[in-house]
Structure 1
Amino acid sequence: MKTNCEIMEITDEKLLRIALVTSLIGIIGLIAFTPTIEVKEVDIKDINRAMIDEEVRITGVITDIAQSSSKTSYFLTVNDGEAQIQLIIFENQVAEIQSKNLDIENFKNRQVEIVGTVTQYNSEMELILSSGDSLRIVN
């Protein structure tokens, strides 16, 4: 009579097949569900501490642009008519934007759409730009 160990012997080949099938199922799932993942669009006044680390989409006018003392990052003030928030653009996103022949200063007084991650600094809510493609002029 065979023991359970002899019946359920897992070989490298069986393990490889299991890993391959599991990977394929995961990839198919990602392909199927990725288009349905949408960034939540919010008004600036509705951004709160419960949303920290969430990615959101806002629309507003860039009313002020300041550069960091190291000259590598930018701080943009975005106003949607009811509230305003600070948008932080770090060095790597600045480089992405500039690689498209755009200057950060050109966004001033322009209506923009922004996708960013909500964060808090000195008790103030802020957005960190998700990527260089996440800041675009809409008007």
Structure 2
Amino acid sequence: MAYLALSISIIGLLILKFASDSIAPGISKIDLIDTNSIGRNVRICGNISNIHRFDKGSLLITVNDGSGEIDVYVPYSIAKIIDNKIFSSREIDVVGEVNIYNGRLEIIVRNLNSIRLKNDNTGLEPK
């Protein structure tokens, strides 16, 4: 009986883990993201106003939703997959963890499913 209870508990925890990874938070306005948001997952939608490609391939995308701007850091493992698409897109939908880097708030994308590009073929060139 104890083994059954333990097995069910472990299965339940695994289900919660996978479900929490796939549940996106509601859309946040960028001007409402502050230091109290550090460590939390947020979702933003907005226009790409700048793209910076680092030497090692990661990206820093500046997103503006009309209420403010925030940087979105995309590590190389994800950037290499979206690289060809990012420069033909103006709009982006991002889920990521709020962090602070060099005194500025940023959102860190943790997996490929957390970034969606809305293609309009106008494109930006990396700086």
Distance 1:72 1:24 in 2: 43
> Which residue pairs with 2:112 in the alignment?
132
Q: Kindly, what percent of the aligned residue pairs are identical?
A: 31
Matched pairs, number: 117
Q: Structure 1 length as normaliser, TM-score?
A: 0.70
Q: Is there any run of 5+ residues in structure 1 with no aligned partner, and where?
A: 1-16
Is contact 1:51–1:118 with CA below 8 Å preserved after alignment?
A: yes
Q: Which amino acid aligns with 2:62?
A: T
TM-score by length of 2: 0.76
Opposite residue 87 of structure 2, the aligned amino acid is E
| Candidates 103, 113, 127, aligned match of 1:123 | 103
Q: Is the 8 A contact 2:59 2:74 kept in 1?
A: yes
List, as ranges, runs of 4+ consecutive aligned residues in structure 1 with deviation greater than 2 Å: 17-21, 28-38, 95-98
Spell out, residue by residue over 1:24-51, the C-alpha distance to the aligned partner (whole angstroms, 9 max, x if none).
2331365379379542421100111111
C-alpha RMSD over aligned residues = 2.6
Unaligned runs of 5+ in 2: 120-127
The structure with the largest alpha-carbon Rg is 1
Deviation string, structure 1 residues 35-73 (Cα, Å, up to 9, x no partner) = 7954242110011111111111101000111111x2411
In structure 2, distance between residues paired with 1:97 and 1:83: 24
Q: Classify the secondary structure of the residue corresponding to 1:81.
A: coil
Structure 1 counterpart of 2:77, from 87, 92, 106:
92
